[in-house]
């Protein structure tokens, strides 16, 4: 076998060294720097992405905090407005109730006057009817000695007492 011949060892070692050193130099000067550059570029890219993500996260947190603050203020304003509206409605209701009560009292007073007037008229008519009935009953019983004037006189005495 030609590889095992001692006379070719020097040339084999020489070409081994030339090839090894050539590959070494090519790797060291060309390939590894390109790989390093790509790795460094990717690292910078990832760092940029991470930095942008952190900035976006900070903006999102700030926006969330502003949202929560505005929401709290809006809730506070809404509850204050609701309380104010409730108070105004209560005042309006009280005023309306008072107005309605006054109107009712006025109408009740008017109706009571009308009822009192009608009662007086009915009592007057009833008194007249009862006097007439009494006179007719006495006439039916053939008691002609008592006249309408007598019945009027007795009735006037009862009303005076």
Q: What is the pLDDT of residues 100-125, one digit of tens each?
A: 999 999 999 999 999 999 999 998 88
Closest CA to 33 of 22, 25, 45, 44: 25
Whole-number pLDDT of residue 154: 79
Whole-number pLDDT of residue 74: 96
- Residue 12 in tokens: 């084999």
Least confident of 61-70, 85-94, 148-157: 148-157
Would the pLDDT of 40 be above 80? yes
Contacts of 2 (CB under 8 A, 6+ apart): 8
User: Which residue would you say has higher pLDDT here, 146 or 38?
Assistant: 38
Whole-number pLDDT of residue 161: 54
**Annotated domain spans of the chain:** 2-160
Mean pLDDT of 50-78: 95
Report yes or no on whether pTM surpasses 0.85: no
- Report the alpha-carbon distance of residue 146 to residue 130 in Å, rounded: 15
Whole-number pLDDT of residue 2: 64
Backbone angles phi, psi at 142, to 5 degrees: 60, 40
Q: What is the pLDDT of residues 3-12, one digit of tens each?
A: 677 787 888 8
Whether 131 contacts 155, CB under 8 Å: yes
Give percent of the chain with pLDDT exceeding 70: 95
Which residue has tokens 């009280």? 94
Whole-number pLDDT of residue 137: 84
Whether 142 contacts 159, CB under 8 Å: no
Mean pLDDT of 35-56: 95
């Amino acid at each position: 076998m030609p590889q095992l011949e001692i006379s070719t060892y020097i040339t084999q070692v020489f070409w081994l060294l030339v090839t090894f050193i050539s590959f070494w130099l090519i790797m060291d000067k060309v390939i590894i720097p390109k790989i390093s550059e790509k790795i460094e570029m990717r690292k910078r890219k990832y760092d940029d992405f991470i930095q942008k993500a952190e900035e976006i996260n900070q903006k999102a947190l700030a926006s969330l905090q502003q949202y929560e603050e505005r929401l709290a203020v809006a809730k506070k304003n809404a509850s204050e407005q609701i309380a104010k509206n409730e108070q105004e409605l209560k005042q309006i209701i009280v005023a309306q109730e008072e107005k309605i009560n006054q109107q009712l009292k006025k109408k009740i007073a008017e109706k009571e006057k009308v009822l009192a007037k009608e009662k007086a008229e009915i009592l007057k008519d009833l008194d007249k009817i009862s006097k007439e009935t009494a006179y007719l009953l006495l006439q039916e019983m053939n008691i002609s000695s008592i006249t309408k004037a007598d019945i009027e006189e007795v009735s006037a005495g009862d009303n005076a007492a």
